Structure 1
Amino acid sequence: MARSLGQMFKGFLRLGSGLTTRTPCPPGPGSTHRASLLCTTAALQSFLFPKPRDLSLPNSSWGPDMMRLYEHYNSLCEVETEGEKQPGPWRRLPSYNRILKYATGGVYLSKIIQSKARLFTRNIKQQGAAFEYVVFVNKEEQKCVCVFQAGHLLEGPPGHVHGGAIATMIDSVAGTHATYLSGLVLTANLNINYRSPISLGSTVVLESFLDKKEDRKTFISCKVTSADGSKLHTEATALFLSITVSNIIGM
Structure 2
Amino acid sequence: MSTHLGRFLRGFRSLGSSPLVRTHPSARVSSRPASVRAIATFPLSIFSKSRDYSLPNSSWGPEMMQLYEHYTSQCEVETAAGEKVGGPWKRLPSYNRSLKYATGGVYLSKIIQSKARLFTRNIREVGAAFEYVLFVNEKEQRCLCLFQAGHLLEGPPGNVHGGAIATMIDTVTGTHATILSGPVMTANLNINYRSPIPLGSTVLIESALEKKEGRKTFVTCKVTSTNGSKVHTESTALFVSINVSHLLLGQ
Counterpart residue number, 1:67: 65
Q: Normalized against structure 2, the TM-score is what?
A: 0.76
Q: Which amino acid letter does the alignment assign opposite residue 89 of structure 2?
A: W
TM-superposed CA distance for 1:49, in Å, is 7.7
TM-superposed CA distance for 1:135, in Å, is 0.1
The separation in 1 between residues aligned to 2:93 and 2:196, in whole angstroms, is 28
Matches within 5 A, 1:1-251: 13=41, 16=44, 51-81=49-79, 82-100=81-99, 114-249=113-248, 250=250
TM-superposed CA distance for 1:228, in Å, is 1.4
Larger radius of gyration: 1
> C-alpha offsets along residues 32-84 of structure 1, whole Å, 9 cap, x if unaligned?
xxxxxxxxxxxxxxx99884311000000000110011111111100101111
Helix, strand or coil: the match of 2:221? Answer: strand
The separation in 2 between residues aligned to 1:49 and 1:123, in whole angstroms, is 16
The separation in 2 between residues aligned to 1:138 and 1:204, in whole angstroms, is 18
The separation in 2 between residues aligned to 1:80 and 1:121, in whole angstroms, is 35
TM-superposed CA distance for 1:98, in Å, is 1.9
Q: 1:112 to 1:223 in 2, by over 3 A?
A: same
Q: 1:246 to 1:159 in 2, by over 3 A?
A: same
Q: 1:159 to 1:11 in 2, by over 3 A?
A: closer
Instruction: Report 1 or 2 for greater relative contact order, CA contacts < 8 Å, sequence distance ≥ 6.
Output: 2
> C-alpha offsets along residues 12-33 of structure 1, whole Å, 9 cap, x if unaligned?
94555xxxxxxxxxxxxxxxxx
Q: 1:160 to 1:178 in 2, by over 3 A?
A: same
Q: Which amino acid letter does the alignment assign opposite residue 215 of structure 1?
A: G
Runs of 4+ in 1 over 6 A off after TM superposition: 47-50
Q: Which runs of no fewer than 5 residues in structure 1 stay unpaired?
A: 1-9, 17-46, 102-110
Identity percentage of aligned residues: 73
The separation in 2 between residues aligned to 1:198 and 1:132, in whole angstroms, is 14
The separation in 2 between residues aligned to 1:73 and 1:246, in whole angstroms, is 35
The separation in 2 between residues aligned to 1:137 and 1:11, in whole angstroms, is 22
Helix, strand or coil: the match of 1:99? Answer: coil
Q: Normalized against structure 1, the TM-score is what?
A: 0.76
Counterpart residue number, 2:15: none
Q: Which amino acid letter does the alignment assign opposite residue 78 of structure 2?
A: E
The separation in 2 between residues aligned to 1:62 and 1:175, in whole angstroms, is 24
